[in-house]
């Protein structure tokens, strides 16, 4: 049986049932005496987009290298698409995995077409697919230009095309939009969303919390090599009991008066002549809205701002010094 067929059979063995695309159990990685990843367990589900966040040095890139089989764990259990990614028998499965590192580096004397064809041959993919991929990432018109003439954004898009070779079942993206302008970032995520919708499982490491929170099915937060929390944004905010912010715009000159009336049993964060800011938990939101409605026409507008991923992240990073 070919290696790739053996890998698929192992991943779908009826004796054990299908394994998730990524499975880590009690994984630890040391470089010398220094622990980089410690006792980490995580499952990435089929067709899921999971965003990995954490401070510099939290172990995110090392975790990706472990999933790719580029380095072996000191201890613990890892399966990527059902097999040990560092084993020799994983060669067939590696062709089903796409990877975009934070800093892409291609031979600058080669053209974009030559680079992509080189990687296609490494993956055993037909080189004819390269033309379509170059068009898809917006490099069709630059396919015959040398990489040395490419901008940062063009190199990133070439890197994404390389990662997309072979319709990967698992796609790992390490800070994929670093240094890109907002238009290119949006373009990047449109392509990534298409891949996920087509069935790929996507793991993204990013510091750009505002741009990934709406694109994440789940979020995993790392701190000093340890996985401190994971779940949907709603689950994480509920777990740490982060408050909603309710902004109430009132009839001109009535804000301080109303805040005094409300302040007895509500957490009024701020008030001025024309507005009031209230903090509350999600479970208290409807009761507060009913109270605001009962005030009648004195209330001109209400805006509710839920906790953001930035807020959750800062909660878990308390005490960590920037690096």
Write out the H or E segment, with its range, that includes residue 290: helix 285-294
> Looking at residue 253, which CATH number applies to its domain?
3.30.70
Domain boundary among 237, 252, 282: 237
What's the distance, CA 199 to chain centroid?
16
Residue among 94, 40, 65, 27 nearest 205 (CA)? 65
Q: Are 196 and 202 in contact (CB under 8 A)?
A: yes
pLDDT at 10: 39
The reply to whether 229 and 254 lie within a common domain is no
Are residues 145 and 120 part of one domain? yes
**Do 170 and 298 belong to one domain?**
no
Residues 290 and 144 in one domain: no
Within 8 A by CB and 6+ apart from 34, the residues are: none
- The pLDDT of residue 17 is 53
Kindly state whether residues 141 and 110 are assigned to the same domain.
yes
Alpha carbon 71 to chain centroid, angstroms: 22
Are residues 143 and 55 located together in one domain of the fold? yes
Q: Please choose, from the candidates 199, 173, 264, 228, the residue with its C-alpha nearest in 3D space to the C-alpha of residue 45.
A: 199
Contact 221, 40 (CB under 8 A): no
Q: Which of these three, 237, 263, 283, is where a domain ends?
A: 237
Please check whether residue 321 lies inside any domain of the structure. Answer: no
In a domain? residue 255: yes
> Cβ–Cβ contacts within 10 Å for residue 175, how many?
18
CATH number at residue 182: 3.40.50.300
Examine the domain organization and report whether 130 and 109 are in the same domain: yes
Q: Are residues 227 and 256 in the same domain?
A: no
Does residue 318 form part of some domain?
A: no
Task: Determine the structural domain holding residue 280 and report its residue range.
Answer: 243-306
pLDDT for 4? 40
If asked whether residues 194 and 120 sit together in one domain, one would say yes
Are residues 124 and 263 both part of a single domain? Answer: no
Least Cα distance to 209 among 220, 201, 199 occurs for: 220
Decide if 313 is inside a domain: no
Give the count of domains, the chain.
2
| Strands annotated E in the chain | 22-31, 34-44, 49-54, 75-80, 97-100, 170-174, 201-205, 218-223, 226-231, 244-250, 267-271, 275-280, 299-305
Is 115 a member of any domain? yes
Residue 314 lies in a domain: no
Please report whether residue 320 resides in a domain. no
Question: Which pLDDT score is estimated for 257?
Answer: 87
C-alpha R_g of the chain: 24
Q: What is the pLDDT of residue 183?
A: 85
Q: Do 204 and 128 share a domain, yes or no? A: yes
CB-hemisphere CA count at 13 Å for 103?
Answer: 0
Looking at the structure, do residues 42 and 88 belong to the same domain, yes or no? yes
DSSP state of 244: E
Residue 55 near residue 322 (C-beta atoms within 8 A):
yes
Rounded distance between C-alpha atoms, residue 173 and residue 193, angstroms = 13
- For residue 7, being part of any structural domain is answered with yes
Residue-by-residue pLDDT tens, the chain, 323 positions: 333 443 443 344 333 457 899 999 999 999 988 899 999 999 999 999 999 999 998 999 999 999 999 999 999 999 999 999 999 888 878 889 999 998 888 999 999 999 999 999 988 899 989 999 999 999 999 999 999 999 988 999 999 999 999 889 999 999 888 778 888 888 888 888 988 998 999 999 988 888 888 889 999 999 999 999 999 998 998 898 888 999 999 999 999 988 888 766 788 889 999 999 999 888 889 998 998 888 889 999 999 999 999 999 999 988 665 55
């Amino acid at each position: 049986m070919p290696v790739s067929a053996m890998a698929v059979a192992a991943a779908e063995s009826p004796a054990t049932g299908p394994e998730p695309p990524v499975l880590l159990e009690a994984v630890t990685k040391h470089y010398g005496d220094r622990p980089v990843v410690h006792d980490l367990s995580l499952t990435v589900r089929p067709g899921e987009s999971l965003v990995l966040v954490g401070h510099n040095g939290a172990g995110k890139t090392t975790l990706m290298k472990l999933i790719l089989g580029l380095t072996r764990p000191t201890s613990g259990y890892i399966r990527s698409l059902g097999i040990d990614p560092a084993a020799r028998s994983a060669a067939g499965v590696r062709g089903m995995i796409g990877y975009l590192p934070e800093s892409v580096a291609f031979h600058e004397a080669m053209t974009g077409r030559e680079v992509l064809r080189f990687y296609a041959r490494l993956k055993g993919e037909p080189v004819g697919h390269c033309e379509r991929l170059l068009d898809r990432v917006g490099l069709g018109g630059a396919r015959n230009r040398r990489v040395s003439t490419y901008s940062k954004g063009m190199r990133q898009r070439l890197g994404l095309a390389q990662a997309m070779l072979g319709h990967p079942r698992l796609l790992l993206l390490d800070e994929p939009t670093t240094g890109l302008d907002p238009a290119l970032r949006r373009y990047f995520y449109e392509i990534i969303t298409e891949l996920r919708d087509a069935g790929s499982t996507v793991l993204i490491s990013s510091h750009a919390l505002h741009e990934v929170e709406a694109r994440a099915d789940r979020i995993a937060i790392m701190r000093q090599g340890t996985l401190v929390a994971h779940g949907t944004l709603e689950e994480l905010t509920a777990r740490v009991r982060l408050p909603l912010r309710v902004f109430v715009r009132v009839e001109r000159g009535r804000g301080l008066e109303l805040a005094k009336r409300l302040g007895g049993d509500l957490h009024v964060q701020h008030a001025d002549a024309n507005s009031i800011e209230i903090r509350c938990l999600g479970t208290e939101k409807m009761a507060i809205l009913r109270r605001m409605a009962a005030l009648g026409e004195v209330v001109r507008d209400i805006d509710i701002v839920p906790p953001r991923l930035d807020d959750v992240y800062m909660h878990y990073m308390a005490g960590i010094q920037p690096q």
